[in-house]
Amino acid sequence: MDRRVSVAIGIVFVAFVVGWLMFVSTPRWFSRQQKPVAAAPAPAPPAPPGRKIKARLFYVSEDGTRLTGVEREIAYGEGPLEQAREIISAQIAPVTEPLVSAVPPGTKLRALFMTEGGDAYIDLSREVTAAHTGGTLDETLTVYTLVNALTANLPAITSVQLLVEGKEVDTLSGHVDLRRPLSKNLAWVQ
Amino acid sequence: MNARPLPLFAIALPLVILAGLVASVSSQTPAGPSLTVLAREGRRALPIAMVSDQEFVALDDLAAAFQLTVHEESLGAITVTYKGKTIVLTPEQALASVAGRLVSLPAPPSRSGRRWLVPVEFISRALTLVYDARLDLRKPSRLLVVGDVRVPRILVRYDSLGAGGRLTIDATPRANSTVTQEGERILVKFDADALDAPTPLLPPQTLQAAAPFVRDIRVADNTTIAIDTGPRFGGFRAAAQPADATARLVIDFVSAQTDTTTAPAPPVAPAPQLPPDVPPALTPPASAIRTIAVDPGHGGEDDGVRGAQGTKEKDLALAVARRVKGIVEGRLGIRVLLTRDDDRNIPLDDRTALANNNKADLFISLHANASVRRSAAGATVFLAAFDDSDTEAANKPAPGERVPTVGGGLRDIELVPWNLAQTRHLTQSIEFATILEQQLRTRVPLSVHPIDRAPLRILESANMPAVLLEMGFLSNAEQEKQLTVDVFQVGVAQSIYEAVVRFRDSLNAGGGR
């Protein structure tokens, strides 16, 4: 009888242990294991949190008449389109002296898309025209800052057209023709 | 491409054939402006709707004219299909996806009741990429030329020459013409299917000046220009001057009363098709420069650059433009056209159009500069710049289309859009810029880059040597003071005057060509 009781207790104990392992411990262990796996393919940042690439951005030269190329580290983007967005976001971000940007302060990137043929369209907020100093020189520098930022860094992009608030515009402040995509022009870079 | 069934064309053609002039066709349409479609099969008018100052056509009308299928998808996209090739439009997006390629439009599609309207540029930027035949949209004339129809653009100008007068008729692309005299009328018949000519052919004030020799000039039928001779008409001599893509016909009139000593003045001129080497003039041209267009930048609500002391670019540009007009007209007798003579804003294209329509020989746009670097200073002469891709695109026919060997052969200027007109004059623009820089150098401070090139819209469509002068920097406090002073403004105006004299002399001597 005692033996039967001890066998029964043993069975109950084993069943309890197996049950605990199956329903409590293992799922917890699995969930702990899977959490990071599930997070990996999700949004970009966690996987390579600080991954950077070097890109050549453009700022107004000291005498104000040309652009100067400056190598800076910017966030890595998956594929040319994402990378283009990162480059333009970095290019239009505020800078401090001695750097001076030809892109008016407050300009935001609304959208950026590209065609298979290598034309990129940068859609900027209204500040790019409203806050512009005007003048042929500054307008030319603003345009080629953005055109060159993409074409000089991304071989996949051969020309760039600027849009403002989602629309095609004739010019930013009355001078440079923006009705069609413009190609890289390093003559405006020192 | 001849398979397009357009039976209406065949019926309508005899009815509208007298219309001849494209402009007059559009003005005759009672329902408002329309786009005239000229095809081998005939012509038809597509109504134009104005939406926010943009010209739109209905997709339905395009579908009927060009055998397109239009579908509105459940997600809001509009698909336009032609022979299995698809264009996708999205409401509120100024873009079209043409067989996978993205093309920008000046405005998004617009709904009007149950119909969808698209900017007319949809035809030249999107439809042309999938369509079998060449589609040549001539927006200023509201004309769409389909396929190999020969429709030269006609520009007429009249100049008084001593006791006589000269009528110059340019046909682009080149179209040969035959000149005959029938009583008091001279007929110029073009080897073409129709003419793209302005209405009237000569502005009233020019016609008034021409009245002694030319009482009236108009398009008589689809391909003929009729010139009614005036009271002093004593005879004429016609000569053809074929240029690259333009056929120029020069008709010199001889006065009946005063001009009996020279010029035999044959009553009937021979057909002027062959002798390109014959000097066309009775007398050599008095000057290579008769008219200059001076364009004071900005204006009206557009101040341009504003200096820290409140100086506005628009006022400065107008002040100097008036000085240039005074000096050049007063001393040289050259007509100076100002694109604006008061404080108003004029669209960029209208400014260039004024210069082009008046056949100006030189275009000078006046501006003041700005830089985010306050130290930037000095004047810069800007020239137009073009992307290689632009000029390539301009010279390339529509995909899949063989260029017809009409009149002027393979080089067809109609493939060069309006905004590339300056490409033909760059050499002379550079020459003038160099002369102007030399003149400015002795009178005003120059930038470290005194001559620069940029894709400037005001210069691109100028059909003559053209420069844009940035006189100095209003963003520089010291320069702002200088720019407002008389001595400086006179210095700039004097430099322009001297440059015009030298440029004119160079052209008269046969240079710069």
CB pair distance less than 8 Å for A136 and B100: no
Q: Which residues pair with B116 in a beta bridge?
A: B111
Minimum Cα–Cα distance from B367: chain A residue: A135
A&B contacts, CB < 8 Å: 131
Considering the domain architecture, whether residues B468 and B338 belong to the same structural domain is answered as: yes
Residue B305: which of A115, A134, A180 has the nearest Cβ? A134
Give the C-alpha separation, B397 to B411, whole Å: 10
Considering the domain architecture, whether residues B470 and B337 belong to the same structural domain is answered as: yes
pLDDT value of residue A113? 94
| A20 pLDDT higher than 70 | no
Confidence class for position B430, pLDDT limits 50, 70, 90: very high
Considering the domain architecture, whether residues B408 and B328 belong to the same structural domain is answered as: yes
| B394 pLDDT higher than 70 | no
Residue A137: which of B107, B369, B385 has the nearest Cβ? B369
pLDDT value of residue A60? 96
pLDDT value of residue A34? 40
Considering the domain architecture, whether residues A2 and A80 belong to the same structural domain is answered as: no
- Termini Cα distance of chain A: 99
Considering the domain architecture, whether residues A32 and A124 belong to the same structural domain is answered as: no
- H-state helical runs in chain A: 2-20, 26-39, 79-92, 127-130, 136-151
> Using CA of residue A83, residue A89, residue A94, residue A100, what is the dihedral sign?
positive
Minimum Cα–Cα distance from B106: chain A residue: A168
Considering the domain architecture, whether residues B133 and B162 belong to the same structural domain is answered as: no
Stretch B492-497: mean pLDDT, rounded? 96
> B423: buried, middle or exposed (CB in 10 Å: 19+, 13-18, 0-12)?
middle
Contacts of A134 in chain B (CB under 8 A): 304-306, 313, 370
Residue A64: which of B106, B371, B468 has the nearest Cβ? B371
Of B86, B112, B146, the residue at which a domain comes to its end is B146
* Contacts for B111-114: CB closer than 8 Å, 24+ residues apart: B112/B49, B112/B58
- Residue of B306, B303, B253 whose CA lies nearest to B281: B253
Considering the domain architecture, whether residues A32 and A65 belong to the same structural domain is answered as: no
B319-378 residue pLDDT tens: 999 999 999 998 888 999 999 999 999 999 999 999 999 999 999 999 999 999 999 999
**What CATH number corresponds to the domain at position B342?**
3.40.630.40
0.80 surpassed by pTM: no
Of B229, B255, B281, the residue at which a domain comes to its end is B255
Range of the domain at A103: 52-188
| A38 pLDDT higher than 70 | no
Whether B250 and B241 have beta carbons less than 8 Å apart is answered as: yes
Considering the domain architecture, whether residues B217 and B68 belong to the same structural domain is answered as: no
Residue B391: count other Cβ atoms within 10 Å of its Cβ: 13
The percentage of chain B sitting over the pLDDT mark of 70, rounded to a whole number, equals 81
CB pair distance less than 8 Å for A65 and B457: no
Cβ of A117 under 8 Å from any chain B Cβ? Answer: yes
- In Å, what is the CA distance from B350 to each residue of A68, A76, B399? 36, 46, 31
Considering the domain architecture, whether residues A68 and A154 belong to the same structural domain is answered as: yes
Considering the domain architecture, whether residues A11 and A68 belong to the same structural domain is answered as: no
- In Å, what is the CA distance from A137 to each residue of A173, B370, B380? 11, 7, 9
Considering the domain architecture, whether residues B243 and B391 belong to the same structural domain is answered as: no
Query: Which residue in A95, A132, A136, A164 has the most chain B C-beta atoms within 10 A of its own C-beta, making it the best mutation to test that interface?
Result: A136
Q: Is residue A116 part of a domain?
A: yes
Q: Is residue A173 part of a domain?
A: yes
Stretch B305-311: mean pLDDT, rounded? 95
Confidence class for position B262, pLDDT limits 50, 70, 90: very low
> Using CA of residue B73, residue B75, residue B76, residue B80, what is the dihedral sign?
negative
Whether B349 and B285 have beta carbons less than 8 Å apart is answered as: no
**What CATH number corresponds to the domain at position B104?**
3.30.457.10
Considering the domain architecture, whether residues B98 and B119 belong to the same structural domain is answered as: yes
Considering the domain architecture, whether residues B247 and B361 belong to the same structural domain is answered as: no
Considering the domain architecture, whether residues A36 and A60 belong to the same structural domain is answered as: no
Q: Is residue B495 part of a domain?
A: yes
| B418 pLDDT higher than 70 | yes
Whether B442 and B494 have beta carbons less than 8 Å apart is answered as: no
CB pair distance less than 8 Å for B372 and A166: no
Stretch A142-165: mean pLDDT, rounded? 96
Whether B106 and B94 have beta carbons less than 8 Å apart is answered as: yes
Q: Is the peptide bond before B173 cis (omega within 30 degrees of 0)?
A: yes
> Using CA of residue B433, residue B434, residue B439, residue B445, what is the dihedral sign?
positive
Considering the domain architecture, whether residues B331 and B403 belong to the same structural domain is answered as: yes
pLDDT value of residue B272? 37
Considering the domain architecture, whether residues B464 and B316 belong to the same structural domain is answered as: yes
Q: Which residues pair with B451 in a beta bridge?
A: B381
Chain A, residues 34-63, CB within 8 A of chain B, namely 60-63
CB pair distance less than 8 Å for A135 and B368: yes
Stretch B185-210: mean pLDDT, rounded? 87
The percentage of chain B sitting over the pLDDT mark of 90, rounded to a whole number, equals 45
**What CATH number corresponds to the domain at position B187?**
2.60.40.3500
Range of the domain at B209: 153-255
Considering the domain architecture, whether residues B386 and B453 belong to the same structural domain is answered as: yes
Q: In terms of pLDDT, which residue wins out, A141 or B14?
A: A141
Contacts of A63 in chain B (CB under 8 A): 373, 375-376, 448
Residue A135: which of B106, B370, B385 has the nearest Cβ? B370
Confidence class for position B244, pLDDT limits 50, 70, 90: low
Q: How many domains does chain B have?
A: 3
CB pair distance less than 8 Å for A183 and B104: no
Considering the domain architecture, whether residues A105 and A161 belong to the same structural domain is answered as: yes
> What is the CB-side half-sphere exposure of residue A145 using CA atoms within 13 A?
28
Q: In terms of pLDDT, which residue wins out, A142 or B393?
A: A142
Contacts of B433 in chain A (CB under 8 A): none
Q: How many domains does chain A have?
A: 2
CB pair distance less than 8 Å for B387 and A62: no
Least confident of A73-77, B216-220, B488-492: B216-220
Instruction: Given the cut 0.85, state whether the ipTM is greater than it.
Output: no
Whether B291 and B360 have beta carbons less than 8 Å apart is answered as: yes
Q: Is residue B275 part of a domain?
A: no
Considering the domain architecture, whether residues B171 and B130 belong to the same structural domain is answered as: no
| B419 pLDDT higher than 70 | yes
Whether B59 and B73 have beta carbons less than 8 Å apart is answered as: no
Considering the domain architecture, whether residues A34 and A64 belong to the same structural domain is answered as: no
Q: Is residue B394 part of a domain?
A: yes
Whether B334 and B289 have beta carbons less than 8 Å apart is answered as: yes
Stretch A140-155: mean pLDDT, rounded? 97
Give the C-alpha separation, A55 to A157, whole Å: 14
